[in-house]
Structure 1
Amino acid sequence: MRKFVLITGASGGIGQAIAYHLAESGYHLYLHYNKNEKSIRELLERLNQFGGEYIPIQANLTEADGYKKISSQIFSLDAIIHCSGNSYYGLLMDLTQEDLEALLNVHVLNPVLLSRDLLPKFLHKGSGNIIMITSIWGQTGAACEAAYSAAKGAQISFVKALSKELALNGIRVNAIAPGAVATPMMEGFTEDEVERIRFEIPMGRLARPEEIAHAAAFLLSDKAGYITGQVLAVNGGWYT
């Protein structure tokens, strides 16, 4: 049976890794992106070898109604992986309302409303999966990332609540909380800063995007059929 997965933020480092791994495993994909069309085109070229159906969808999720452009283009659906994200690093006193609204739109408002709009497709089938790519900072919080930590914490609470709401409908809802991952998002840090992060991580290295992808594939699989409402921490022992 053909299975379709929507991946938001598919142009990012983690999103691309998830898309590649799922396509390799035979899934058909809706690939959301915002500005990085070049990245999506390159991803599509890499996926063509697997012979599936891969549909790009452009939408700006920093806008409050960005989810509508995605939900209107989804037909058959078996899973959603919310992977879109942006970050804000700085003191809370320097945070503007515009930056906060964009952060909450991407991480909270649009994922919640997109999930709401697409739930009938799962309910009709009597099965479905929702996976939220959250963050270690949603579990423990980070200085100079108070707003980001709050948004990621909201994602975790949403997962725990919605999983209870949908469990009897055969729909599982889980989260993955990566620590530091070797993606372009880390390019904003100096080598000394990255080295300090590595030193703090018990395993002594950053995660590879593929390791997050493997965790997502596991949660989608029947091997995780009795797992819902959980936060799978993929952080090298950084926070336990």
Structure 2
Amino acid sequence: MKNQTALITGASRGIGRAIAARLSAAGYDLVITCREREDLLKQAADEFSSHGIHCRTFIGDLGEQGTAARLFDEIGETGRTIDVLINNAGQSHIGLFQDTTWEEWQSILSSNLTSVYALCKEAIPGMLWNGHGKIINISSVWGVCGASCEVAYSATKGGINALTRALAKELAPSNIQVNAIACGAIDTEMNSFLSEEEKESLMAEIPAGRMGQPDEVAALVLQLITGNEYLTGQVIQLDGGWI
């Protein structure tokens, strides 16, 4: 049997790379993307290919009009369709709402939400043709409850959560499941701006007493794409009991 193919965005590091590593070890062929760190993406692809799977890379800003279509044109040239779509790529923004510029707002909206729209739109026709599919959107607990000084980021993650629930209803009759993982504090480069004192203060707020690890997100992704097909439209909080 031909391996199923998973597309993972933002896979050069952090959560995206952990998901790609977990799926490659499980026998999925991969298409991995990032916006600019071609060196890290190539290193990741070489590592994953050692598992005996096929791994293709793509560099580009998937929030820009036409980029997702170009990616899927390249995938189509290989005769493949995407069985699993993991929308992981995104950026954070910290600052007072009234200080957020138009350019900053548009940038985070494009990176975090428009890219999800573009990739889902391109992936769904192949899933409909195959009669199955899984879409997992990597979100945040701030999309559930909002965060002071992260209004733009919270708004985009809230949009992802709403998109997940609505799209799941639309695609359920076609045997395509759509779910989201609302991550809490995960120990990645995105949180590297925190001082050790700030990290300790943060962990004191989390009932589990620690930050989550990227591989824990990856493990949940694998559970969702290999598990119960009746589970769809869910935004699952992975936060150690924090929120």
For Structure 1 versus Structure 2, the TM-score category normalised by the shorter chain is over 0.9
| Corresponding residue of 2:83 | 78
* SS of 2:50 mapped into structure 1: helix
| Corresponding residue of 1:100 | 105
Preserved contact between residue 175 and residue 231 of structure 1 (Cα < 8 Å): yes
Name the CA distance, whole Å, in 2 between partners of 1:139 and 1:117. 27
Q: Does 1:224 align with 2:224?
A: no
Preserved contact between residue 181 and residue 207 of structure 1 (Cα < 8 Å): yes
Q: Does 1:140 align with 2:141?
A: no
Name the CA distance, whole Å, in 2 between partners of 1:166 and 1:63. 25
Q: Does 1:56 align with 2:60?
A: no
Structure 2, unmatched stretches of 5+, are none
Preserved contact between residue 66 and residue 110 of structure 1 (Cα < 8 Å): no
State the one-letter code of the partner of 1:195.
E
Residue 62 (structure 1) shift: 4.7
Name the CA distance, whole Å, in 1 between partners of 2:71 and 2:111. 13
Residue 79 (structure 1) shift: 1.0
Structure 1, unmatched stretches of 5+, are none
* SS of 1:134 mapped into structure 2: strand
| Corresponding residue of 1:12 | 13
* SS of 2:215 mapped into structure 1: helix
| Corresponding residue of 1:29 | 30
Residue 228 (structure 1) shift: 0.2
Name the CA distance, whole Å, in 2 between partners of 1:184 and 1:178. 14
Preserved contact between residue 59 and residue 69 of structure 1 (Cα < 8 Å): no
State the one-letter code of the partner of 2:181.
I
Q: Does 1:235 align with 2:236?
A: no
> Matched residues, percent identical?
37
Residue 64 (structure 1) shift: 4.2
Name the CA distance, whole Å, in 2 between partners of 1:169 and 1:48. 32
Q: 1:193 to 1:19 in 2, by over 3 A?
A: same
Normalization by structure 1: what TM-score? 0.96
Preserved contact between residue 63 and residue 102 of structure 1 (Cα < 8 Å): no
Name the CA distance, whole Å, in 2 between partners of 1:66 and 1:191. 39
Q: 1:65 to 1:100 in 2, by over 3 A?
A: farther
Name the CA distance, whole Å, in 1 between partners of 2:12 and 2:156. 21
**Which stretch shows the higher mean deviation, 106-115 or 86-95?**
106-115
Name the CA distance, whole Å, in 1 between partners of 2:63 and 2:192. 21
**Which stretch shows the higher mean deviation, 187-196 or 201-210?**
187-196
| Corresponding residue of 2:92 | 87
Aligned residue pairs: how many?
238
Normalization by structure 2: what TM-score? 0.95
* SS of 1:224 mapped into structure 2: coil
| Corresponding residue of 1:154 | 159
Q: Does 1:186 align with 2:187?
A: no
Residue 68 (structure 1) shift: 2.8
* SS of 1:73 mapped into structure 2: helix
Residue 61 (structure 1) shift: 3.0
Name the CA distance, whole Å, in 1 between partners of 2:65 and 2:207. 39
